[in-house]
Structure 1
Amino acid sequence: MQQVKKGDQIKVHYHGRLTDGTTFDSSAGRQPLEFEVGSGMVIKGFDEGVTGMAVGDKKTISIPADEAYGPRQEEMVIEFPIKNFPPDITPEVGMTLQMHGDNGQELPVVITAINEESITLDANHPLAGKELVFDLELVDIKGKSPLIIAP
């Protein structure tokens, strides 16, 4: 029976939750997730978790924060002067905004606190610092396409 290996294109149904049981994502009611194993399209622990599975296999994996979205980084939490906040936006705790970095790249941030002087913005991934648990079901494996080189 064919088992998942690096380079395979696979389809997998998943249910992602935190260690307290809170669901953060699921493919239920949707098409299964399709990706190439080892290509960096998913977090490292997910790639490693599907490796060796066969079609029809089901399993539960735990992914430590370091193999998921990494640890929370306090330097990713910034105080932004409220006087520089766009006047057409009313800030609220929990609101997600897009900031532009020095290189022009968009960076999602979440407002975590507001006071008279400043707004606290957190640019950490919402799942940073968290261990993730996934229930997996492998639906399909397509081996890597052979490379054809013209003579």
Structure 2
Amino acid sequence: MSTASNASMTITGQSTVLFHVDIKLSDGSAAESTRVHNKPARMRMGDGSVSAAFEAQLLGRKAGEQLTFTLPPEDAYGMPNPDNIYYLDRNKFSAESPAEVGAIIGFGMPDGSELPGLIREVAGQSVTVDFNHPLAGQTLTFQLEILEVQ
């Protein structure tokens, strides 16, 4: 009795999948790619790291397959949450991290992690910082190359 190799394993709801992904915006411009630093993504099916709609595209696929699919915002990175927009006092910013529209600044969190925030507006002493994922609210096209299935 021989065992199946990784190349013939089909993705199921319990699989771990290693894949390269290129994400494009609706205008065709590149948003993100794991190929840039040659660091493929690894995910366990059902762990909640991606949407059910994303996982549904992977079910039944095998290593070596390539696929392209488009997801609406609610199945990709979600819709922007107004609760993730904060208004900070301009004096909270420094010369190293000035409050400039379009800048992405890492803000230290109580647990020691860093959360990136996009500066949307500067009005007087008030700075509007958006902590939503930069791809929230976007319809995205995903191009995947499945490298390994476990």
1:28 to 35, 44, 60: 35
Q: Which runs of 5+ in 2 are unaligned?
A: 1-7
> In the alignment, which residue of structure 1 is the partner of 2:137?
129
Give the counterpart letter for 1:48 in structure 2.
Answer: A
Aligned residues: 139
Listed as ranges, the matches of 1:2-151 within 5 Å are 2-28=9-35, 30-82=38-90, 84-88=91-95, 89-99=97-107, 104=110, 106-142=114-150
Mean CA deviation greater in 119-128 or 88-97: 88-97
Letter in 2 for 1:25: E
Greater mean alpha carbon deviation, residues 40-49 or residues 129-138: 40-49
Per the alignment, in what secondary structure is the counterpart of residue 46 of structure 1? Answer: helix
Q: 2-side partners of 1:94 and 1:48: how far apart?
A: 35
Match of residue 3 from structure 2:
none
Q: State, as a whole percentage, how many aligned pairs show the same letter.
A: 27
Report the alpha carbon displacement of residue 34 of structure 1 after superposing the two structures with TM.
2.1
- The CA deviation string for residues 38-94 of structure 1, in whole angstroms up to 9 with x for no partner, is 212344443222122122222111122112221112332232232x42444422112
Give secondary structure in 1 for the equivalent of 2:69.
strand
Structure 1 unaligned spans of 5+: 143-151
TM-score, normalised by the number of residues in structure 2: 0.78
TM-score when normalising by structure 1? 0.77
The separation in 2 between residues aligned to 1:40 and 1:50, in whole angstroms, is 14
Shift of 1:99: 3.8
